[in-house]
């Protein structure tokens, strides 16, 4: 009888459905509606839900660590986190990249009243440009050359300040992910009242879509993440999350 009990316990301990998921200290960049903190402290958002689904499919769960692009890269290089996403620009030494898990649509936004025409990145020369943190490491050499000739250039990690920089006329052009910028501009306009709510925003598609990866210090976690990513794409979970957020935009 004692032997039977031991065999049953051993079988249960090996069962993948009953085993506890491995907790991974993982860095995330808070940028609504991709990743945002609810009033009760829980995280939500398109990117967070995608990552959570991928982790769950790989028998892992996220222990979140929030920070800017630069802070996450530093945290990974100092082993404060086991991994982070998205990896923007060159990965820190010792970080191994996963397959791409999300596509960002980086655009340039201007105020319609300004009548600014942008058809190529070179048109940014001479303008006051604000962009997301580490944009100069992501958007290519033509962008780097153009901003070198900008009247003013700043990379700002706080999305609300990005939106205000454009809406209040401090910058001529705002560069960033379309869904993120649209969300934060709407929030600023809502708080500002009717007068600024009437401002038309023009979107200029100067950049190709950017595919982002996650990164881990342990190559074994990369393999597990990629396996989880394939599973959620195969079973429809990945597309269902995308569709749900697209319907709310």
Domains and CATH numbers, the chain: 21-103+210-248 (3.40.190.10), 106-204 (3.40.190.10)
Number of Cβ atoms within 10 Å of the Cβ of 57:
21
In 3D, which of 105, 108, 107, 154 has the Cα closest to residue 130? 154
Q: Which residues of the chain have pLDDT under 50?
A: 1-18, 194, 196
Residue entry with tokens 């959570």: 52
- The whole-angstrom separation of Cα 230 and Cα 232 is 6
- pTM score, two decimals? 0.78
Q: What is the pLDDT of residue 20?
A: 75
Q: What is the pLDDT of residue 200?
A: 86
Q: What is the pLDDT of residue 6?
A: 43
Residue 85 phi, psi dihedral angles, 5° rounding: -155, 150
Specify the 3-state DSSP secondary structure of 199: coil
Q: What is the pLDDT of residue 15?
A: 46
- The whole-angstrom separation of Cα 127 and Cα 148 is 11
């Amino acid at each position: 009888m004692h032997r039977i009990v031991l065999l049953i316990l051993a079988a249960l301990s090996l069962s993948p459905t009953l085993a506890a998921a491995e907790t991974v200290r993982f860095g995330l960049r808070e940028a609504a509606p991709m990743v945002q903190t609810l009033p009760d402290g829980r995280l939500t958002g398109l990117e967070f839900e995608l990552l959570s689904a991928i982790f769950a499919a790989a028998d892992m769960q996220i222990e979140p660590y929030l920070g800017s692009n630069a802070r996450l890269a530093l945290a990974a290089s100092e082993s404060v986190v086991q991994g982070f996403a998205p990896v923007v620009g060159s990965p820190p030494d010792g970080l191994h990249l996963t397959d791409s898990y999300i596509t960002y649509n980086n655009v340039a936004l201007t105020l319609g009243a300004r009548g600014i025409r942008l058809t190529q990145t070179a048109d940014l020369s001479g303008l006051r440009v604000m962009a997301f943190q580490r944009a100069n490491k992501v958007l290519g050499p033509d962008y780097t050359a153009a901003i070198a000739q900008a009247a003013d250039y700043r990379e700002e990690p706080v999305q609300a300040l990005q939106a205000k920089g454009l809406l209040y006329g401090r910058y001529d052009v705002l560069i960033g992910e379309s869904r993120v910028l649209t969300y934060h501009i709407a929030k600023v306009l809502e708080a500002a009242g009717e007068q600024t709510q009437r401002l038309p925003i023009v979107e200029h598609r100067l950049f190709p879509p950017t595919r982002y990866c996650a990164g881990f210090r342990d190559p074994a976690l990369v393999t597990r993440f990629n396996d989880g990513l394939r599973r959620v794409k195969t079973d429809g979970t990945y597309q269902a999350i995308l569709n749900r957020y697209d319907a709310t935009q």
